[in-house]
Structure 1
Amino acid sequence: MNAFMMLQKDPRIHEGDPILIFFAGHGGLAEAEPKWRQKYGSSKIQVIFPYDYGLPVSNSNSSVDCIPDVTIAELLNQLAAAKGNNITVIFDSCHSASGTRDDLERPGLKARSADVLFPIPDDIDDDILAHSSLSTKIGRSSELLLYSDQASHIHIAACGSNQKAWEDEGRGYFTAVLLDTLRKSRVDNITYENLLKALPLISSQSPHCYGRNKSRILFDSRLDVQTRVFIPVVCDLEDDSWILQLQAGDESGVTENSVWDLHETATEDSVPRARVVADFPDIGTTLLSLGNRQDEMWLDKLARGAPRHTKIRVYARHLHAGQDTALRVWCSVQSLRDLLRPHNAASNAIKGTIHEVGYVMEQDRNRADLELDFYSRTAKPEVVFRLRNPIAETYGISELKYRKPASREEIETVLFAAAKWRWHLERTNRYPQNRSPQIDPMTMMRIATRVRGKREYLDKPVTMPAQRGMIEFVARGNDLYGVELISRSKLPLYIRMFYFDATDFSIGDMFGQTVANGAEDATIPVGGKIVIGDGRDGGSPLKFGVSPESRAELGYLKVFWSTIPLEVSDMAQKSAFKMRPGSIGRAVGRAEVQATHDWGTMCLALVMKAA
Structure 2
Amino acid sequence: MTTLDSQATIRRLCQKVADVQALQSSQEIEIVTAPIDTKPPLHALVIGINQYKANVHLAAAVPDALAFREYLIDDLRVSEEQITTLLDEQAGRADIIKAFQNLAKPDNGIEHGDPIVIYYAGHGSKVDPPPERAADELVLCIIPQDTNEVDEVVPIPYFTIASLVHQIAQEKGNNITLIFDCSRSAASRNGSERSRFIDKADLPKLRPMQDIDIIQDALSGSSDFSDPTKLGLSLDNMDSHVMLAACGHGEAAFENGTEKYGYFTDALLKLLRGIKVDRLTYRGCAHRLPPLCTRQPQNPVCEGKNIHRIFFNAMVPGAKASFIAIKLNEFNEPCLQAGLVQGITPGSRFSVHESDTPGPTNPSIATLEVDKVDLFTGYLKDMDTGVQLPAACYGRQISYGTEKALDIFVTQEFVDATEPDKAWARAFSGDKERLILRPVERDLAAVVLSVNEEKKTTFTLNHPFSVQYGVQTLPTFINSPIPPVASYVIPILTALSQWNWHLRHIPDSRLFYRHIDLEFYKLELTGEYDDMGNPLFAPTGENLNLGGVVNVVASTEDYYGLRVINRSPQDLYVYPFDFSATGLDIVYRPIPILDSSASGPHLLKDEHLTIGYGAGGQYPFMFAIDEPIKFDITMLKLFVSTTPTDVQSLEQGGVFGERHVALDGIISDPFKESVWDALTLTLVQRQPHVGEEPAPLEQTENATTKSLESGIISLQTPEVEANDISVSALRASLMTTSTTADQASFAGRSDEPMLAQARSATAVTSVWFRTPELTQELLSSIHCMRLRTLAKQQAPAGADTTEQTGAYFEISVISSLDGLPKLMPSDTEMTYRSHSAPATPEYEWTDGPIFDETHEMWSNLEVGDCFEVVVCASGRGRVNDANQGSLTFW
| Interval of TM-score (by shorter of Structure 1 and Structure 2) | 0.3 to 0.5
Over alpha carbons, which structure has the higher Rg?
2
Q: Normalized against structure 1, the TM-score is what?
A: 0.41
Q: Normalized against structure 2, the TM-score is what?
A: 0.29
Instruction: Tell me: higher relative CO, structure 1 or 2? Use CA pairs within 8 A at least 6 residues apart.
Output: 1
